[in-house]
Structure 1
Amino acid sequence: MISPLLLLGGWMLWPDSPAPATDWTSSGAVSGPPRETIDSRLPPQTTTNPPLANQLPATGTGQPGQAGTAPPEISLDRLQHALANIAVDEDGNLALDEVALASLQQAFRAVQSLDTTTIDELRLYVQAGLAGEAGTQAARLLDDYIGYRNSLAEAKNAWAAGDDLSPRQQLERTIALRREHMDPVTASQLFAGEEAHQRYLIAMDDIRSDMQLSEPERQDALARVREDLRSGRLLVDTSDGQVTSRLRQQREQWQQLGLTDDMRRHLARQSLGLVAARDLAGSDAEDWQSRYGQFERERDAILRAGLAEAEKRRQARALEERYFTPEEREAAENWLPRHLRTESVR
């Protein structure tokens, strides 16, 4: 599960308030069988296996930092160490989660001072050292992440030089950069927890600084934001007040209908996934809103009918297939890391 240390890394900004618990995080390890990682697939360094630096092509002049020169062995060692903990699933694909994000951040620190040619050679090593799709994915992910971080640094310089952007606007532009340099669903899997935390901190700060609120209103607003984080609503873009309000209302309605906890969690994940898919699939906002509204009305009718919960799930899933495109449904299914998806959402 997403580590609370990652999610709540900025909590010390307000030490007088209790840290919110979340339904979608756990302080324990990721459940399931032991994680196979990149480290177990990269070739080891042995006396019969040349040092990592010598495994790269060296066709240049031999001067450090020039095109074609193999990078220093230390750069390869640092890169391999940084990527070592990224998990590989049973299908040979990289597991994109908070561990992968932390590994990419460490990898970027290892290569950020190197020239482009050297970084390309390092990427080739990663791809050559990992067989199959995992190697292709790791090389592409590393390349995309480096491109994103470089663009983010340039953007931050522009913001500091004169662009008067609010924290919320900076977050929106940062998310746009992530989705520009990476596949949007990949970016969502990597950054969903971090973005939820940032939305939470921004919303809390806005409420605390709003002098037009009375103290009871302020406390009510703070409680709503804590509940938004706990329930997972801040995992998706909350700038649309209509959608946010509806997501808040749904849980109360489902509880009033007497649905089980498991069914309510299933429905919440379905709703959140479809809201996330609106942006990840590049849907037209107005068209998506029209379809989502009709989907909700028909789903509500199903939930109020005297049917077994298994049948309600089946019919709700059929509605999803009727009202949303294959691209939207795929994004709704995969927008979170695999270990945060419930087995019931199918």
Structure 2
Amino acid sequence: MKKAALAAAVASVALLLAGAALWPGQGIFSAGDRGQNAAASGPQISGEHASMRGTPIATRSGGQAASGPVDHFLAPGLRFQLEALWLEAGEVGDPATLKQRLLALVPRHFSANDAVRAAQLLERYVDYRVALSGLKPPADWSDPHALRQALEARQKVRARHFTPEEHDALFAQEEELDRYTLARIEIERNTQLGAAQKDTALRDAERQLGAEHRAVRAEAVQHIAAAAQTASLDAQGAGDVERHAQRRALYGDAAAHNLAQLDREEREWQGRLSEYAAARQSQSQPQLEATRQRLFTPQEQLRLDAALALRGPGAASR
């Protein structure tokens, strides 16, 4: 595996962890509130993911469809619904107030038949997110042992808050990718394996993915070389003319134009992130919310905290 591929793998796990608000300072509550709120809530009894409601739910053991009638409430898109409600509820200072706002939104997002289940799940989802804020991030994002410990800690929190069926609907597909990505990192870091053995181990790991993720993975592999080249061009500080020439030599003129467009979109995205990160240091909460709404679409806002977290602690906290 090339260094760029390993870096992409680490970033993939980091993004999944960050998107689940794994460490303090992320998410809806201020850093000062979180420790107290997490302790007060206590343990309860029972976080790129299909969104098609009504599709069979993959199991944690290997992506096989569950047998028996499909529970349309516990469909893979359920987590996106919960996050959409969370975003619509706005930022508040404590879990109790957030729960009240979320419950008031339930009739607008769920049918009457699902309203009670949705309300109960939302309350536990808030408790789950608060509990996640008490977990420590890996000391070294490139250390597979540290990443595994972080994933296992997150798994224990999820098991405390959700039934197995709820867990599968909310997290199964994400966790399948987590396990695969972590396996890739562990294989690459294994000094006891030769190049041929690593290739075999990587193919074995990929076979553990469900059919849908294998197809996505096959498509993604085609872009690794282009991503590696882009990283190299970034490191060289290459200008637009040089970037286009090198890309055209490898992939053709049309692909070079498409990659140039992606460069422009990435620069624009990073510019908005920088503007928002600066606003977090100086603006009041109402001003910051207005800035957030101005700079990012609702879909972008769902991954905003994760993107800032990957930039470093200073950018991810106010």
TM range (shorter): 0.3 to 0.5
Does 1 or 2 have the higher relative contact order (CA < 8 Å, sep 6+)? 2
Task: Please tell me whether Structure 1 or Structure 2 has the larger radius of gyration of its CA atoms.
Answer: 1
Greater helix fraction, Structure 1 or Structure 2: 2
| TM score, norm. by length of structure 1 | 0.37
